[in-house]
Structure 1
Amino acid sequence: MLFDLHPKEHRKELFGRDSELEYLLEQLLAGNWVVVGGQREIGKTSLVKVAIRELKEKHGFKGAYVNLRGVRSLNALLTSLIPEMNSSRVKLDLSFSVNFIMGSAGIQVKRDAKAVSSLNELLNSVHEDLVIAFDEVQELSQASKQFLDILGNVFSSNSRVRFLFTGSYIGVTRILINPPSTSPLHGRPPVILNLRPFNDNTSRVFLRKGMREIGVDFNGEEEVVKRLDGVVGWLTLFGNFYAVRKIGLEEALNFAESEGKKIMIGEFEHFLENKNNKIVYTTLMDVIKVANKWRDIKRGMEIAIGQIDDKELSLALDSLVGNNFIEKVGRGEYRIIDPLLRKIDYSKILKPRL
């Protein structure tokens, strides 16, 4: 069902991404690794999950999906990966000699095993075609050097393992895409697949098809697309409120905007967690609602918070671009990508909540 709020896992549920899915499968079957990028709620996880299922059902691959949200260390990565490798969905035939034992529950890490050597052994012990999807890979940026060393080792040693990454274009993701000459992945960059919002016509067709699936007559596509744009996550959220929960058009739109804003505020707060100058980012988002050119943005920032160094401003803008909160649309021009991001009052984010 198109208006199901869970990530899609079957091709028939995936709307408007046929060409992207075929390209993704083609690249993985050719042995390439792939980074799937794009703004939040654009359908990255659904595309990845459908690709894994297609590879399993039609090409004999094993497949593992690991959500890295909150995973900041290699120990945490190992802890997240092992249950998926033990899953009945994967059923890998593995052989170990150093860091693991095979117990009744599957793979178990020995007590004093180190994360780096354990991950290297685990991934190089695979003797079947396996695709592993790491969702939100930028979360591992604090451990990027060791993580990239592991990936370089696997790339050189085990061609049966292919990786599929999603994430913002920062930290470890940026290095993956453009590895320096000192990186073990230098000269082996992954393919980049960037998902864009649906255009207006595709958005309207998505809404009509979703409504037909549930047997609902609907003619409010223009208003929905005007307010939610072509972001499939928000269109799906509206469709669920309107067609599944039987809420009126205006109320369903308001609910979709309200719930979507909560999601995006949570994403922005997560982004701010490791930032020392949080007020720069919250103020910058509010300023970009009304100013798009670099010089106007700087003027707005200095009116709001006082003098700001050119370098600090540029780094903050680059960080927001890399995290898919804003996009650079021309030389020195920026805009907020998501329609619901444009509706948030960022000045309230840093205030204590009662």
Structure 2
Amino acid sequence: MLFDPNPKSKREDLFGREKELEEFNKSLHLNERLIIVSGPRRIGKTSFIRVALSESKYPYLIIDVREIHGVYGSVSKYSLYSKIAEFLTSQMRLSKKLSSIFLDFIKRIKIFKVSGISIEVIPTKRLPDVTVLLRSLDECSAENGTRFILAFDEAQYLRFSGGVRYDEIIAWSIDNLENITIVVTGSEVGVLKDFLKLENPESPLYGRYRHEIVLERYTRDKSLEFLEKGFSELSLQVQRSELEEVVNLVDGIPGWLTLYGYYRGVRRLSHSEALTAVFSEGSKLIKDEVTRIIASSRGRYLGILEAIARGARTWKQIKVYLMYRTGPITDARFTELLTTLVKYGLVVKTNNEYKIADPVLEYLVNSGDL
């Protein structure tokens, strides 16, 4: 169902990404070792990765790095291995058994135990290095005549590593493991780039080949087509003028279009009720994350966001508003704050003008509830 608000896993439920799926599959078939999938929040990266990997027919692991960081506070070896065990458990419960490559991997690495329909990390004083796990996966893949895909969703959180240098590990994997492709995704695109440092000569990943796929917002026509197709699935007639209003307000972001479709088509709210729910409930979904990002200089970050939400577009206009709101600030410090908001994907810069990236975030800023 197109209007299912949960991450998709089937191609028929993933709308408008045929070109990107073809590009991803080609990269896998060429045995490329690093694929980067990026795009703004709620663009559908997790759904895209799930569909792409399920169609690939290769064995894979998807690691939600943001969830690990949220639960453990860092992405240590133990937290990473626990997440791997959780993923393997879900796969076993889904298919009633594990594939031969996972069974070989568990036997070889000897840090997981199978208990009924659960897989757990065996308590031990010293866990093997991540490179040992990757080497084992590579060997198992070679012996099974296949390729293995390791996907880090929201990989920018790998910088909270608990002492593990994940950038070095990824570089080592690219250089040494012929049968593994690493996929990294990120919605905080600037932060992800800062973590990978692909253009920095001092970075472990400098000069390594990677294939980059950027998921863009839907165009206006594509947004209308998505809504029309979704409501057609539900056999619900919706006025064109209502669809156009939704498209005008949510700016081509698939997550919010889907949420509107869910409220309108599945929950059967009225048009105005569904729109209100998208912005009010959407604000609740993003509030904690935004609050975390701006916590280090809350007043000034809020001032910048308020300035842009109220129509300031240029560097100078935003700075003037911020100084009126919070007092004097140096050019360097102001630029640093504004650049940080761009890196985290809260603000976008186009032709030297700035705007808030997400209409729901703009609504949240204007509501005064942030």
Q: TM-score normalized by structure 1?
A: 0.89
Residue in structure 1 matching 2:132, options 121, 126, 139: 121
Aligned counterpart, 2:38: 37
Cα distance in 1, alignment partners of residues 315 and 53 from structure 2 = 42
2:154 to 136, 151, 165: 136
Q: Describe how 1:59-70 pairs up with structure 2 within 5 A.
A: 61-70=58-67
CA shift digits 1:303-350 (9 cap, x unpaired) = 00011121221121221111111111013x211121112212378456
Alignment counterpart, residue 251 of structure 2, candidates 229, 235, 239: 229
Matches within 5 A, 1:1-354: 1-32=1-32, 33-56=34-57, 61-70=58-67, 71=69, 72-75=74-77, 76-85=79-88, 87-88=91-92, 91=99, 92-94=102-104, 100-101=110-111, 103-105=113-115, 106=119, 108-109=121-122, 111-114=124-127, 117-126=128-137, 127-128=140-141, 129-143=147-161, 146-167=165-186, 168-171=188-191, 173-176=193-196, 178-219=198-239, 220-272=242-294, 275-289=295-309, 290-331=311-352, 333-345=353-365, 348=368
DSSP-derived class of the 1:111 partner: coil
Out of 122-131 and 2-11, give the one that drifted further: 122-131
RMSD: 2.3
Tell me how far 1:123 sits from its aligned partner.
1.1
Match for 2:54: what amino acid? R
1:172 deviates by 5.0
In structure 2, the CA distance between the partners of 1:213 and 1:151, relative to structure 1 (3 Å rule), is same
Query: How far apart, in 2, do the equivalents of 1:200 and 1:67 lie?
Result: 31
1:284, distance to aligned residue in structure 2 (A) = 1.0
From the superposition, tell whether residues 153 and 340 of structure 1 become closer, same or farther in structure 2 (CA, over 3 Å).
Answer: same
The 2-side partners of 1:206 and 1:189 are apart by 35
What is the one-letter code of the residue matched to 2:336?
Answer: L
User: C-alpha distance in 1, partners of 2:80/2:366?
Assistant: 32
**Structure 2 CA distance for partners of 1:104 and 1:336, relative to 1, 3 Å:** closer
Distance 2:284 2:225 in 1: 27
Percent of aligned positions that are identical:
29
Question: Alpha-carbon deviation of 1:203?
Answer: 0.7
Paired residue secondary structure (1:133): strand
Inter-partner Cα distance in structure 1 for 2:191 and 2:125? 29
Deviation at 1:232, TM superposition (A): 0.8
Deviations 1:66-123 (A, max 9, x none): 1112422223223212332454266324358997345334574451224xx4311111
Unaligned runs of 5+ in 2: 142-146
Change (3 A) 1:236 1:98: closer
Deviation, 1:38, is: 1.3
CA contact (8 A) 1:135 1:166 kept: yes
CA distance in 2, matches of 1:118, 1:145: 9
How many residues matched?
A: 341
SS in 1 for 2:151: strand
Deviations 1:142-201 (A, max 9, x none): 328611122122222212111111111244543425253333322114322222211111
- Does the aligned pair in 2 maintain the 1:137–1:166 contact within 8 Å? yes
* Structure 1 or 2: more helix by fraction: 2
SS at match of 1:247: coil
The code of the aligned residue for 1:67 comes to D
Distance in 1 separating the partners of 2:276 and 2:106: 54
Q: Is the 8 A contact 1:100 1:110 kept in 2?
A: no
Match for 1:198: what amino acid? Y
Question: Aligned partners of 1:339 and 1:249: how far apart in 2?
Answer: 18
Once the two structures are overlaid, the 10-residue window that deviates more, 100-109 or 217-226, is 100-109
Contact 2:134 2:173 in 1 (8 A): yes
| TM-score (norm: length of structure 2) | 0.85
